[in-house]
């Protein structure tokens, strides 16, 4: 942590800051420049309790320092997330998921190969789910997505049907050997969703629902954490830190578009988040071009771009009859469109030296 | 709802849309232009079940129509929120709050007068809370704010201490006669927080935590709904609609700054939201310049601007010693600064013909 | 300037940076922490050539340092603008404008009093201009705004009529004794517009048209510099720095709304920019609520809020018949609305202890 | 154009709008719903003067209608750009550029194949330019980029050296047979830059410098139009419309990142703009991952993603010694990095069925 003093502060102000630091168990090292003085801070205590770092995180102290009248700004040298950072954990995290339909009966998300997660936005009926699962499995998808609980911006939109729908997902899993990913929306539902799902999804609106993050941090299922629609990459990794710090180390990040001024697309998909996350963190990162664009006619190109940029998996909405979908039909691929997509993503994966696991 | 057809669609496409509409109980009225055809839709069913409107909301149908290949876009004529709209409820909603310290022992938020809500960001100790409550009450604040549960972007930040802190707030209320507003973060805490608070606050990160909105919609306490940090005004009113549609009509909106590209302030406070909400909705709207700017040195001017723009109340963070605050010290006023603020806001309120209720 | 080294760098990397600094005439002071090393840099050369500052600006060096493989980031301690900063020039700049219709025949913008600038968005005809000028002057406006050249997002929109319209503005000035402010769009027009205008306006789309900034920096007319629609406050002050560094010290800043995700308003007016600019800079700051909101029905409240927040002047679009305006009719006040606005802004000015100069 | 009336308007209000339309040569077709009335407008006159469209553009009329007190909103059915739209010009525009070093001595940008444009951000010296040109040509780049005039956010940054640098670019062209692309910043420089360059570049800060757009619209050189840093896709196509409407049909669009709240990257590159532009317009679209990210360590992945998404060309900054670059060193590839990039982009181009033209 570095404290930048205001240009007109005097020696008394500097001493005041140094005393403040001492009172909090820290040491300040002032560098007196012609124009202004900066004070390097040693001894800040990080999350794991290790003292002695220049940097370290302690947001409270940083804010307190910033509000001293002689202080211009406080520069944080270290990243505020630790367990999620590549510095803390240099090797890639591999998230292991049981997938009966592949020859190894498990896949490791994050190990360099690519997998396809596909299915309907919302589980509407047994027929709709089974038809879609069969079709996407036939083309090589190995993880089935489908919402049992659905957030909706309007209280009058479709909001899901809960456990009954979870049972349909479990049925599809046993029938087609796919792993199941589905959203959990509130802490009290976590244990129930764990009974049916292989991966718990935290939706974009819940990225900072801290009690929900705590709760999924206490189970041992993999968690897919979608980026909040206006979350910075730092905030997103801090949300992952919530889960990791509760003990659950199986976190997968998912880029799903951010909110910008552009109005032609529902969101602006931040493809650069994929290589950035690979640099900053050891966690797998996947890509949701359906939510990321909100437009079916962009899903194929954004899938290809995601693979080229290094995504660990794609999460695609598919519906047998999107015109009649209860939710987000405008961004779901038809079965035919999905069928056309698969060889294209495999070709690009191969071009960048990656295997696409389909069986 | 108006369906705009693509410029090259033919009569068969138009008939397809008309049949689709008929199948959903609606009637389409095509206007065939030289360049393209648009179809006005009658009979959409709104939330209250009243048919026959041109417009009405049914997001599912709108999306389904939009995904038809011959359709360019679907224009929604009506607002998607109903109960929150001024069209539905032309008179101002007055939210009644019991406030022992004023002569009438109650105040009506939204009736044209202005009130001050002030207190610490976080309840840290009995002494800190009582000192602050006494001081802000002395200057004319009549509602005491204070966080017992606190969301924090980092899992290592301060996160509040729950019920013990709620009891301190209740003690301050009985001692100073102020009403108490405090945040509730998860559905299972709602009934407990209701025992201690006069107004339940929904924080910015929970504006779209739908299960929490449903839960506070089922109690009869006033709810202060903060704007999500990247929420449009429409999404904010839709979040209010969640609460209203569960039966709780005592919703107060709170502007607290939105996320923009600007980095000098923590948020950009959208003062224009105040008069806009007054036009679009009947609900009271208040202003939080502490969170709205993140900087103590802007709170006074943004308080004055909020009053001039028509806010129903101010929500201000005050701390007896902001340099030692556990959270958000940088945006808290000192007691002296708060003391200086009060006559200024009262002068501006008077200049725009409004009464400031302080006793 | 502070160089933050990567956490795994070794002594050789540190020496490489120190040598790099020495080669550029700078001295580095490393602080070796447990977790990482930071290097304070002395001797960077600022714009005026004064060496010896810790900080100073030299974007080239900063970027070069940032791209060294062992460097994590470079923190700039000093602000990149100098002449525009309050640190450089602590007293308020007063911009002197000749205004025949006031008793002193001049006004000093920035001296604590408030003035009204009003008129049509675009000069459409002699009658339209004269009617408007007469009406706004009658109510107390002392500076007449009116576009002779108009930027338009579409090439088919109205784009102004040039010198003929400038002559009408000059005529209105001589008739009503008001000063004239009008936009200049390209360097070759600067000298011509100077012949007719008292204040040159640089529009939002030209805030970073550097050759135009250079050109208006070389004349001795006051320049009103509108904030770019997505400009940070730092970029805006750097644009002012362009003008100031050419010798013209009479720069007035104008907040006119920024681009955000919100769609109900054309722009989000950043009222907090007013007190922020007062802190960061010595230049006057005025407020354009017409462009800032794009909606006539918000202009009054945002005018009042601007005054309460400390604006030095208001810039308001007024049209005798907005329904027939060639441009931006939707945000122009009618003469009647303007008439109602004036006593309100004067009352708020008085409430915050400021004089409104009208004669 | 569709006029949506307010819900409480009466027959008189409707007649007022119909009369207004008639007075402007248009016909209104009201549809009276239970909740509100909408009026379809026929006969709006578009840019090419063809009457009779429902839709058509006339921003003035739209704004005038919107400001009528009984009108809630005006929905524009047609796109405001015409010449730039795919509806107007269904076949892809091919922009022909003379390139001596390829076997055909010309290339057609936009014909489905991909080309590489590379070179230094800024022309610094003959040696720097020649070294870079030789190196990038050796790897297969066929168009040389290099700034002679450079915009810089700070007046103290490097701003280019003009014609002397243009001559160096011309020398590199004659030596290596590459076409040259370089930026023009002001209308009076257009004819001079045309003497040296094969493609004129309009920078992001000048996307709405209308007098410059007009000027490059009057020459017959290809123009590369960079997206404004906060420009919507519609505004970008309207800027292209300025050039096209002056007669120059050889416009190439360039995505270079947009401004968002994210701070880890300089800009957020909007990869989805590539397939979107292909749908909405017939113009070629290319990709600038150097500006688009501002970080050298993301350029490779974003180049690959751009190719996968359908870009017609890449524009890459390369510098023999980025640590010593005068400008934007942090985003320039080294010669070695560029050498590694080329086979990767060619592999992805092949995977999506496209040819990479290198000779």
- Does pLDDT of C200 surpass 90? yes
**B98: closest CA of chain C, how far (Å):** 30
Chain C CB within 8 Å of residue B258 CB: yes
* Lowest mean per-residue pLDDT among A144-153, A166-175, B156-165, B330-339: B156-165
What whole-number distance in Å separates Cα of residue D152 and Cα of residue A47?
41
Cα–Cα distance for residue pair D76/D90, rounded to 1 Å: 21
Question: With an 8 Å Cβ cutoff, is C112 touching chain A?
Answer: no
Q: DSSP E strands: which ranges in C66-126?
A: 71-75, 95-98, 106-109, 115-119
Answer yes or no: is pLDDT of C273 > 50. Answer: yes
Question: Which residues are C181's β-sheet partners?
Answer: C145, C199
Residue of higher predicted confidence among A100 and C23: A100
Give me the DSSP letters along D66-83.
HTSTTEEEEE--S-S-ST
Cβ burial of C188 (10 Å; 0-12, 13-18, 19+) is: middle
What CA–CA distance (Å, rounded) separates D200 from D196?
10
Phi, then psi, of D193 in degrees rounded to 5: -60, -35
Chains in contact with chain D (at least 3 beta-carbon pairs closer than 8 A): A, B, C
Q: With 0-12 CB in 10 A as exposed, 13-18 as middle and 19+ as buried, what is C241?
A: buried
pLDDT bin (cut points 50, 70, 90) of residue B43 is low
Quick one: average pLDDT of A326-341? 88
Mean pLDDT of C127-143: 97
Tell me how far apart the alpha carbons of residues B293 and B264 are, in angstroms, rounded to a whole number: 9
E strand intervals along chain B: 2-5, 27-32, 37-44, 53-54, 71-75, 95-98, 106-109, 115-119, 143-145, 179-183, 199-202, 223-226, 251-255, 285-287, 313-317
The DSSP code sequence of C215-241 is HHHTS-S-EEEEPPTT--HHHHHHHHH
Helix (H, G, I), strand (E, B) or coil at D114: strand
Q: Which residues of D touch C58 (CB under 8 A)?
A: 156
Q: Quickly list H helices, C148-209.
A: 163-176, 190-196
B105-145, pLDDT tens digit by residue?
999 999 999 999 999 999 989 999 999 999 999 999 999 99
- For the cut 60, the answer to whether the pLDDT of residue C295 exceeds it is yes
pLDDT class for C43, splitting at 50, 70, 90? low
pLDDT at B353 over 80: yes
Closest to A328 measured CA to CA, from A292, A300, A294: A294
Q: How far apart are alpha carbons C220 and C223 in whole angstroms?
A: 9
Nearest to D34 among B52, B77, B230 (CB): B52
> Which residues of chain B neighbour A330 with C-beta distances below 8 Å?
63, 66-67
Averaged pLDDT for residues D177-189? 95
Q: What is the residue-averaged pLDDT of chain C?
A: 88
Rounded to 10 degrees, what is the CA torsion of B205, B207, B212, B217? 150
Comparing C214 with C74, the larger pLDDT belongs to C214
- C-alpha dist (Å) from residue D303 to B340, C323, D116, D275: 57, 49, 10, 15
What's the average model confidence in pLDDT over B95-113?
Answer: 96
pLDDT of residue A38: 80
- Confidence at C58, pLDDT banded by 50, 70, 90: low
The residue with tokens 């190196």 is D135
Q: What is the pLDDT of residue B50?
A: 36
**CA-based radius of gyration for chain C:** 23
Q: Which residue has the higher pLDDT, C324 or D245?
A: D245
**pLDDT of amino acid A36:** 73
Average pLDDT, integer, range D294-309? 96
Task: From chain D, pick out residues whose CB is under 8 angstroms from the CB of C241.
Answer: 154-155
Reported as a pLDDT band with limits 50, 70 and 90, residue C321 is confident
Q: B147 Cβ partners below 8 Å, 6+ apart?
A: B120, B121, B122, B123, B160, B165, B182, B183, B327
Residue B42 has pLDDT above 50, yes or no: yes
Contact of A245 with chain B, judged by CB distance below 8 Å, is answered with yes
- Whether residue B280 contacts residue C307, with contact meaning beta carbons closer than 8 Å, is answered with no
For residue A90, give the chain C residue with the closest CA: C8
Strand-pairing partners, residue D285, are D253
Residue A143, token pair as written in the block? 């993880």
Confidence of residue B207 (pLDDT cuts 50, 70, 90): very high
Q: Which residues contact B74 (CB under 8 A, 6 or more apart)?
A: B1, B2, B3, B4, B62, B65, B66
Q: Which of D268, D275, D297 sits opposite A268 (nearest CB)?
A: D268
The mean pLDDT value for A28-57 works out to: 58
B264 touches chain A (CB under 8 A): no
pLDDT of B58 > 60? The answer is no
Look up tokens 């007075």; give the residue.
D23
Burial C247-274 (b: 16+ CB within 10 A, else e): ebbbbbbbbbbbbbbbebbbbbbbbbbb
Contact assignment for C329 to D156 by CB distance below 8 Å: no
Does the beta-carbon distance from D54 to B40 stay under 8 Å? Answer: no
| pTM, rounded to two decimals | 0.89
Give the tens place of pLDDT for each residue, B273-331: 999 999 999 999 999 999 999 999 999 999 999 999 999 999 999 999 877 777 777 88
Mutation pick from B154, B157, B317 vs chain A, by most beta carbons of A within 10 Å, is B154
Per-residue pLDDT, D269: 97
**Tokens standing for residue D223:** 């123009």
Closest CA to D316 of D284, D281, D350, D340: D340
User: What distance, in Å, lies between the first and last C-alpha atoms of chain B?
Assistant: 50
pLDDT at A118 over 60: yes
Predicted pLDDT of residue C116: 98
**3-class SS of residue B89:** coil
Residues of D in contact with A344 (CB under 8 A): 352
User: What DSSP designation does A261 have?
Assistant: S
Supply the angle between the helices B296-309 and C296-309 in degrees, to the nearest 10: 140
Q: Do D258 and A263 touch (CB under 8 A)?
A: no
C117 vs C2, higher pLDDT: C117
Read off the pLDDT of each residue in B92-111 and give the average, rounded to a whole number. Answer: 96
ipTM, two decimals:
0.88
Check pLDDT > 70 for residue D12.
yes
Question: Stretch B35-50: mean pLDDT, rounded?
Answer: 60
Exposed (0-12), middle (13-18) or buried (19+): which is D80, by Cβ within 10 Å? buried
Mean pLDDT of A89-93: 94
Q: Strand C179-183 relative to strand C143-145: parallel, antiparallel, unpaired?
A: parallel
* pLDDT at residue C36, as a whole number: 73
Q: How many residues are there in chain C? A: 359
Q: Is the pLDDT of residue C307 over 90?
A: yes
pLDDT tens by residue, D48-81: 333 333 334 455 577 678 778 788 878 776 778 9
Q: Which among C73, D263, D230 is positioned nearest to A276, based on CA atoms?
A: D263
**Nearest-CA distance A54 → chain C (Å):** 5
- Identify the sign of the CA torsion A168, A172, A174, A178: negative
Residue (of A160, A276, A195, A180) closest to B210 by Cα position: A160
Encoding tokens for residue A350? 């191969």
Tell me if D305 sits within 8 A of D272, measured CB to CB: no
Tokens standing for residue D239: 């800027």
- Say if the Cβ atoms of A35 and C29 lie within 8 Å: no
Q: Each residue of D269-299: b (16+ CB within 10 Å) or e?
A: bbbbbbbbbbebbbbbbbbbbbbbbbbbbbb
Report how far apart, in Å, the C-alpha atoms of C171 and of each of A157, C166, D295 are: 60, 9, 54
- Among the ranges given (A152-161, C130-139, C142-151), the one the predictor scored with the smallest mean pLDDT: A152-161
Coil, strand or helix: which one is A117?
strand
Which pLDDT value is given to residue C48?
36
Tokens encoding A320: 């047998």
Of residues C280, C302, C348, nearest to B272 (C-beta): C302
Q: Does B48 touch chain D (CB under 8 A)?
A: no
Q: What is the mean pLDDT of residues C200-226?
A: 96
For A226-247, what is each residue's pLDDT tens digit? Answer: 999 999 999 999 999 999 999 9
Q: Quick one: pLDDT at residue B60?
A: 57
> What CA dihedral angle connects D34, D38, D39 and D44, to 10 degrees?
-170
Count contacts between A and C (CB, < 8 Å). Answer: 80
pLDDT at A333 over 90: yes
| Residue C343 phi, psi (nearest 5) | -65, -30
At residue A314 the predicted structure's pLDDT band, cuts being 50, 70 and 90, is very high
Q: What is the C-alpha separation between B65 and D41, in angstroms, rounded?
A: 22
What single-letter DSSP state applies at residue C162?
Answer: T
Residue D357 has pLDDT above 60, yes or no: yes
Given the structure tokens 């020649």, which residue do they identify?
D130
User: Tens digits of per-residue pLDDT, A279-294?
Assistant: 999 999 999 999 999 9
Ranges of H-type helices in chain D: 11-23, 59-66, 126-139, 163-176, 190-196, 210-217, 233-245, 273-280, 289-293, 296-309, 335-351
pLDDT in tens, C232-244: 999 999 999 999 9
Over its C-alpha atoms, chain A yields an Rg (Å, rounded) of 23
| Phi, psi at D247, each rounded to 5° | 120, -20
DSSP notation for A80-100? S-STTBTTTS-SPP-EEEE-T
Nearest to D271 among A233, A234, A305 (CB): A305
What pLDDT shows up at residue D185?
A: 92
Note the pLDDT of residue C68.
80
Whole-number percent of chain D with pLDDT over 70: 92
Cβ-contact A278, A90 below 8 angstroms: no
Please report the residues numbered 63 through 92 in chain A whose beta carbons come closer than 8 angstroms to any beta carbon of chain B.
63-64, 66-68, 80-81
The 8-class DSSP code of residue D352 comes to T
Reported as half-sphere exposure (CB side, CA atoms, 13 A), residue B213 has a value of: 28
Partners of B30 in the β-ladder: B39
Q: Does C23 contact chain D (CB < 8 Å)?
A: no
Residue D12, phi then psi, degrees to nearest 5: -65, -40
CB B287 within 8 A of CB B274: yes
- Helix/strand/coil for A28: strand
pLDDT of residue C337: 96
């Amino acid at each position: 942590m570095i404290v930048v003093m205001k240009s007109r502060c005097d020696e008394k102000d500097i001493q005041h800051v140094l005393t403040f630091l001492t009172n909090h168990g820290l040491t300040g090292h002032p560098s007196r420049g012609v124009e202004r003085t900066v004070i390097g801070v040693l001894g800040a205590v990080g999350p794991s309790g290790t003292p002695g770092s220049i940097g370290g995180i302690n947001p409270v102290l940083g804010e307190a320092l910033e509000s001293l009248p002689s202080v211009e700004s406080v520069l944080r040298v270290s990243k505020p997330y630790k367990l999620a950072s590549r510095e803390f954990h240099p090797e890639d995290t591999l998230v292991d998921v049981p997938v009966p339909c592949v020859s190894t009966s498990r896949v490791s998300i994050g190990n360099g190969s690519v997998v396809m997660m596909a299915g309907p936005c919302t589980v509407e009926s047994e027929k709709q789910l089974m038809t879609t699962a069969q079709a996407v499995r036939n083309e090589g998808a190995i993880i089935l997505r489908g919402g049992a609980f659905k957030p909706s911006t309007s209280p009058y939109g479709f909001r899901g049907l809960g456990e009954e729908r979870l049972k349909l997902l479990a049925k599809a899993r046993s029938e087609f050997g796919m792993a199941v990913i589905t959203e959990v929306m509130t802490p009290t539902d976590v244990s129930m969703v764990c009974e049916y799902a292989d991966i718990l999804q935290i939706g974009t609106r819940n990225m900072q629902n801290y009690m929900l993050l705590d709760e999924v941090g206490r189970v041992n299922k993999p968690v897919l954490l979608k980026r909040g629609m206006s979350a910075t990459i730092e905030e997103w990794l801090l949300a992952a830190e919530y889960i990791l710090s509760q003990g659950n180390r199986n976190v997968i990040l998912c880029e799903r578009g951010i909110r910008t001024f552009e109005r032609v697309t529902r969101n602006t998909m931040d493809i650069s988040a994929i290589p950035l996350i690979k640099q900053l963190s050891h966690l797998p990162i996947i890509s949701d071009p359906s939510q990321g664009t909100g437009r079916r006619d962009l899903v194929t190109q954004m899938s290809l771009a995601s693979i080229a940029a290094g995504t660990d998996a794609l999460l695609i909405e598919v519906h047998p009859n999107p015109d009649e979908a209860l939710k987000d039909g405008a961004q779901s691929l038809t079965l035919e469109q999905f069928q056309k997509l698969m060889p294209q993503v495999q070709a690009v994966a191969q071009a960048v030296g990656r295997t696409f696991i389909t069986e």
